[in-house]
Amino acid sequence: MKPARTFKARIRQFGLAGTLFLTVLGARLYELQVVKGSEYLEKAHRNTVVVEARPAARGRILDCRGEILVSNAPQFELVVTPSELRDRKEVIKELSRLLDETEPELEKKIRAAAPHAPLVLQRDLTQDTLARGTEIAEYRKGVGVRAGAIRRFKYGKMASHLFGYVGEINAEELRTRRDLGYAMGDGIGKVGLEKQYDTLLRGRKGADQIHIDVLGRTVSQTELRPSTPGPDLYLHLDAQLQQVAEKALGETLVELWKQNGERSGGTVVVMEVKTGAVKALASLPQYDPVPFARGIKYKEYQALLDDPGFPLVNRMIHSAFSPGSTFKLVTATAALQGGLCTTASYFVCGGSFGPANCFVRSGHGGISFEDSMAHSCDVVYYKLGFEMGIAHLRKWCALYGLGSPTGIDLPAETGGLLPSPEWKLREWEDRWYDGDTINMSIGQGFLLVSPLQMAVVTAAVANGGYVVRPTLAMKAVAKNGAVLLEPEPARTQLPAKPEFLASVRRGMRGAVLHGTAVATNLPQVQVAGKTGTVENSPSIHNKHGRNHVWFVSFAPYDDPEVTVVVFLEKSHGYGGGLAAPIARQVYEKLYPQGWEKERKEAKPHA
Amino acid sequence: MRRLRFLDLKLYLPLAGILTLLWLALYSATQFGQAGEAIRQFGYIAVGSVVMLFLSGLDYRVFRKAVVPLYLVTLGVLGAVLVMGESVNGSQRWLSLGSLGTFQPSELAKLTSVIVVAVILSEKLTWRRAAAAAAALGPLFLAILVQPDLGTSLVLVAIGVVMAYVAGVNGTLLFSVLGLGASALPLVLKEYQRDRLMVFVNPEIDPSGMAYSLVQSQTAIGSGGLLGKGLMKGHMTQHGFVPENWTDFIFTVVGEELGLVGGVGLLVMFAMLLFFILHTGYHAVDRLGGLLCVGVATLLLFQVFVNMGMTIGLAPVVGIPLPFGSYGGSAILVYMAGVGIVGSVRIESRIPEDPLSDSVHPSMEGPSLGILSSSGKG
């Protein structure tokens, strides 16, 4: 078909419009370059005064005694300035050999970086790498070696989940934090306390004003503002106690590994019951923070991800498990408050309740309310749970803080799972059965809690009904002595009658004296506790369906100070046999022989 | 290729000028740091020239047959980039070709759109054909929009609208639809795209963040003055004050180092190229040839205006490359292929009609549907 007249007319219109568009561009160029040209020329020369940030020393982390746990050490790092590189291919080849990274990887890193700023390729160079790197820097323009700081960890892996690590800021983090003074190439806390208190620990960068001449040479450099180092962060953590807890837990885990042929994990938390101050928080296995501090290599990171013990997971706050019989603390409180029984009630356990069996299959026979706690009689709690119903039980779970994060000063804490009939309908497309309530009343079934949440529950029972917020940070003190941070203990009151909680405590004391937790029956301090054993079905992460075990406890019984909660994942065995002995070692450290006498001497006027 | 005897050099001369000027700018911007890029770009230009001459020698009417496979291949690679594309600056636009570099399917989609619309609208205009053209562009447009690459998807819209207009679709109707579409734009924009628009409206709100590029590029161009600072001597260019000046901001190098003379010179060369393309379309022997030329011209004009406009504060930063300038193999190949097709149309109109043949081109003039054309009545 031949072009029509309209067609040609419209091409002419297009030509006219195009001329107009190009003319507008030309006119704007004339305006910028001729009319305002000299103005912009001046502005272009002003551009050569650049303000460069001067890094601040990162704040240290100390324990409650003032022992330095995380500090800074000098180190050398290899940097390249992409725009200054000549013979790029050759340089990359040399660096690839030196740093044990593939050429495409290095090429990619350099290509992605800002062209005129030094890019750190590797921190914390070894002697050999440093020597060779300095050599290369001599004859390769754009390659350099410079001094910097790296995090140093006094006790190596100890509490690595808790401290976390610092890494280079990524684009996503930068986008939301540009206003806070973060810039490309900055270090930023990625997990743990380093992340939680990053804005504090990083201090304040100083600034240098640098004049650059037309050829790009530095003419002068003046300090505009000195940097302010980050403050010292003191923790409630007791490094000695943390070591004892990690050692006891670690030894048990090694034992279990041999016995089960499978890696498992565990946690120990020690917390003051009245304030929520966390004195030890161990989650094993943990990882070595050093590779993270110097910039972890892909291979190393992949190895950590593939580790069957999941060392990157802080089981204390990132994971949630069935609480098992330790949940009876909650069921018991709910039952007493709901008037379903009294502290003097007497039950008969025949070994089962409907289709649900007791922990002791043969039955406990006649048993008092408090002894049901001591001997972990499931039938009593099946009955109580069935009678109170899910709504009442849920209410008391929520009051104890289950289902929501405890609010500890660590990032990415889980709230666990507090199930409800609505939740079950949504997730399982099935209604809530009485059997679900009965299961839940002994801590089996849908309910999931983190070990830290159980510590808060135990603390509330021990301190007479206050749900505390676990806290690691005691205070942050600037170099000039100013206290920048001092978190107040936070707690909410449980609407529970004191005598009911006292009854639960008596039951827990009974477990230690003549029940399931005799392993913690120490002569020098009265411990009260509750064991838990979670039955599991085989799953992807637990192929043999081994039991998890728990031990929640507090001491001293008559004036509770601390709670110790131990959890072992897929350990097999029972809480009383595996978890309680770990708590015992912690108590022996906390309350050595003659501790009462020592305290009286230390505080004669108290 | 006997047809190449009728090749008209006039069409290719301005293009050679543009390529030379922009290659020099790229060389200047990358002489430190990415020195290999200019050499690689030279290779792309060489390959592009071969492709261009090949397409000029080919009878463009093969696209009537080739259009369906071309369309399906384009859709396929656009899909592939969504599934396994490499991400640059937060959007997936590239396919890795190993040592050959990367390939940007959205560039191919621009040329495919021109060809598809030209073939569909080359026959007598009906409602059905207009709708078919829109329906064919739709999937390409969406696949690019979700990458997300707003800029390129807008190029497709421009191509569709201008080609439909020249093909005879009622102008009032067309621009009303366009207006409706534009008013829906704020709903589909991503946050960063909205930010860019905001910054364009008021660059002072963020002088060191996103607006940084805009302020710096205007400063660089403005400081070039009438004659520029001389090639390789641009102070801001050479010291990295304009981010990414070897890609979307290449025009800042021309502006700073070659001044108004270089900038307007480039504009004039683009104007000449566009003139010859439209001239070719005007004298094309059939509607297909005419529409192909109009499509290629739209592609070039829209991108020149938006890209240059971005560097001098006349258009927002939407990531549209400067034709023949912005670094990247697939882009240069696609634009040179476009000019190659125009060359084929031009050759066709220069081949003398065979006097022995009586098969004259059918002269069915004009769209027969009055509602489709406002000027059809005249």
pLDDT tens for residues A557-585?
Answer: 999 999 999 999 998 888 888 999 999 99
Q: Using CB atoms, which residue from A3, A14, A214 is nearest to B297?
A: A14
Does this model's pTM top 0.80? My answer is no
% residues pLDDT > 90 (chain A): 51
Chain B neighbors of A84, CB-CB under 8 A: 32-33
- CA-nearest residue of chain A to B281? A11
Alpha-carbon distance of B377 to A24, in angstroms, equals: 33
State the average pLDDT over residues A490-495: 91
Cβ separation of B219 and A40 shorter than 8 Å? yes
pLDDT grade for A495, boundaries at 50, 70 and 90: very high
Q: Using CB atoms, which residue from B33, B216, B365 is nearest to A83?
A: B33
Cβ separation of A14 and B222 shorter than 8 Å? no
More confident residue, A136 or A172: A136
Domain presence at residue B24: yes
pLDDT for the residue A218? 64
Min distance B111 CA to chain A CA atoms (Å): 19
pLDDT for the residue B91? 54
Whether chain A has a CB inside 8 Å of the CB on B361: the answer is yes
Taking only the tens place, the pLDDT of each residue in B108-167 is 999 999 999 999 999 888 889 999 999 999 999 999 888 777 888 889 999 999 999 999
Task: Name the residue with tokens 């081109």.
Answer: B361
Q: Does pLDDT of A460 surpass 50?
A: yes
% residues pLDDT > 70 (chain B): 76
Min distance B22 CA to chain A CA atoms (Å): 17
Pairing state of beta strands B86-88 and A562-568?
A: unpaired
Taking only the tens place, the pLDDT of each residue in B159-194 is 999 999 999 988 888 888 888 888 877 766 666 666
Q: Does pLDDT of A238 surpass 90?
A: yes
Q: Does pLDDT of B214 surpass 90?
A: no
> Nearest-5° angle of CA B163, CA B362, CA B352?
90
Domain presence at residue B19: yes
Alpha-carbon distance of B292 to B305, in angstroms, equals: 20
- Domain of residue B339 covers 2-351
Taking only the tens place, the pLDDT of each residue in A419-429 is 999 999 999 99
Domain presence at residue B378: no
State the average pLDDT over residues A489-501: 92
Min distance B234 CA to chain A CA atoms (Å): 10
Mutate to test the interface with A, among B235, B303, B312 (most CBs of A within 10 A): B235
The residues that bridge with A529 in the sheet, in sequence order, are: A553
Task: Name the residue with tokens 């710096």.
Answer: B216
- Specify the DSSP class assigned to residue A547: P
Q: What's the structural domain count of chain B?
A: 1
Alpha-carbon distance of A560 to A587, in angstroms, equals: 13
Whether chain A has a CB inside 8 Å of the CB on B313: the answer is yes
Sign of CA dihedral B170, B175, B181, B183: negative
Q: Does pLDDT of B373 surpass 80?
A: no
Mutate to test the interface with A, among B89, B123, B227, B239 (most CBs of A within 10 A): B239
Q: Does pLDDT of A551 surpass 50?
A: yes
Alpha-carbon distance of B371 to A543, in angstroms, equals: 73
The set of residues, in sequence order, having a beta carbon less than 8 Å from that of B31 and lying 6+ positions away, is B38, B232
Are residues B109 and B74 in contact, defined by beta-carbon separation less than 8 angstroms?
yes
Pairing state of beta strands A278-284 and A346-349?
A: unpaired
Are residues A379 and A166 in contact, defined by beta-carbon separation less than 8 angstroms?
no
Task: Name the residue with tokens 């069957």.
Answer: A308
Whether chain A has a CB inside 8 Å of the CB on B323: the answer is no
pLDDT for the residue B359? 44
- CA-nearest residue of chain A to B258? A33
Taking only the tens place, the pLDDT of each residue in B316-337 is 777 788 999 866 678 889 999 9
Cβ separation of B363 and A2 shorter than 8 Å? yes
Taking only the tens place, the pLDDT of each residue in B41-69 is 888 999 999 999 999 999 999 999 999 99
Alpha-carbon distance of A504 to A513, in angstroms, equals: 14
Domain presence at residue B369: no
Cβ separation of A6 and B364 shorter than 8 Å? no
Q: Using CB atoms, which residue from A22, A88, A216 is nearest to B270?
A: A22
Min distance B301 CA to chain A CA atoms (Å): 7
Alpha-carbon distance of A98 to B96, in angstroms, equals: 28
Chain A neighbors of B290, CB-CB under 8 A: 3, 7, 11
Domain presence at residue B152: yes
CB hemisphere CA count around B354 (13 angstroms): 6
Whether chain A has a CB inside 8 Å of the CB on B35: the answer is yes
Cβ separation of B259 and A25 shorter than 8 Å? no
Q: Does pLDDT of A180 surpass 50?
A: yes
pLDDT grade for B369, boundaries at 50, 70 and 90: very low
Alpha-carbon distance of A456 to A398, in angstroms, equals: 12
Chain B neighbors of A171, CB-CB under 8 A: 90
State the average pLDDT over residues A517-528: 92
Min distance B371 CA to chain A CA atoms (Å): 13
Taking only the tens place, the pLDDT of each residue in A17-67 is 999 999 999 999 999 999 998 888 887 776 566 667 778 899 999 999 999
Q: Does pLDDT of B87 surpass 60?
A: no
* CATH 3.40.50.970 for the A46-67+154-234 domain, yes or no: no
Compute CA B314 distance to the chain's CA centroid, rounded to the nearest angstrom.
Answer: 18
Alpha-carbon distance of A112 to A37, in angstroms, equals: 33
Q: What is the mean pLDDT of chain A?
A: 88
**What DSSP string describes B337-361?**
HHHHHHHHHHHHHHSPP-TT---PP
Q: Using CB atoms, which residue from B222, B274, B290 is nearest to A40?
A: B222
More confident residue, B338 or A541: B338
Domain presence at residue B134: yes
**CATH ID of A239-475+485-592, from 3.20.20.60, 3.40.50.2000, 3.40.710.10, 3.40.50.1100:** 3.40.710.10
Q: Does pLDDT of B266 surpass 80?
A: yes
Q: Could you give the C-alpha distances from A574 to A517, A579, B111, in angstroms and in order? A: 10, 8, 71
Cβ separation of A2 and B35 shorter than 8 Å? no
**What DSSP string describes A153-202?**
ETTTTTTHHHH--EEE--HHHHHHHGGGT--TT-EEE-SHHHHHTHHHHT
Maximum Cα interatomic distance, chain A, rounded to a whole number of Å:
112
Alpha-carbon distance of A192 to A165, in angstroms, equals: 7
Min distance B155 CA to chain A CA atoms (Å): 15
Length of chain B: 378
The set of residues, in sequence order, having a beta carbon less than 8 Å from that of A439 and lying 6+ positions away, is A356, A445, A446
pLDDT for the residue B366? 41
Alpha-carbon distance of A296 to A124, in angstroms, equals: 11
- Tell which residue, A454, A460, A485, has the closest CA to residue A472: A485
Q: Could you give the C-alpha distances from A245 to A86, A192, A235, in angstroms and in order? A: 55, 19, 17
Domain limits, chain A: 46-67+154-234, 74-149, 239-475+485-592
CATH class of A74-149: alpha beta
Are residues A455 and A563 in contact, defined by beta-carbon separation less than 8 angstroms?
yes
Helix/strand/coil percentages in chain B, nearest 5: 70, 5, 25
pLDDT for the residue B363? 39
Span of A12-26, A121-135, A347-361, A508-522 with lowest mean pLDDT: A347-361
pLDDT for the residue B197? 63
Q: What is the ipTM of this complex?
A: 0.88
Q: Using CB atoms, which residue from B167, B235, B274 is nearest to A214?
A: B235
DSSP 3-state of A340? coil
Chain A neighbors of B223, CB-CB under 8 A: 37, 40-41, 43-44
pLDDT for the residue B368? 40
Chain A neighbors of B165, CB-CB under 8 A: 10
> Nearest-5° angle of CA A486, CA A492, CA A495?
165
Query: Are A74-149 and A239-475+485-592 in the same CATH fold?
Result: no
Q: Hey, which of A128-137, A343-352, B59-68 has the most confident mean pLDDT? A: B59-68
Domain presence at residue B364: no
pLDDT grade for A453, boundaries at 50, 70 and 90: very high
State the average pLDDT over residues A135-150: 86
pLDDT for the residue A502? 94
State the average pLDDT over residues B62-88: 86
Token pair in block for residue A406: 């405890």
Domain presence at residue B365: no
pLDDT grade for B271, boundaries at 50, 70 and 90: very high
pLDDT grade for B76, boundaries at 50, 70 and 90: very high
Q: Using CB atoms, which residue from B36, B271, B287 is nearest to A7?
A: B287
Taking only the tens place, the pLDDT of each residue in B302-317 is 999 999 998 898 887 7
pLDDT for the residue B88? 52
Cβ separation of A19 and B271 shorter than 8 Å? yes
Write out B235-302 in H/E/C secondary structure.
Answer: HHHHCCCCCCCCCCCHHHHHHHHHHHHHHHHHHHHHHHHHHHHHHHHHCCCCHHHHHHHHHHHHHHHH
State the average pLDDT over residues B191-214: 57
> Nearest-5° angle of CA A291, CA A296, CA A300?
90
Span of A151-160, B203-212, B272-281 with lowest mean pLDDT: B203-212
pLDDT for the residue A524? 92
Mutate to test the interface with B, among A8, A22, A23, A29 (most CBs of B within 10 A): A29
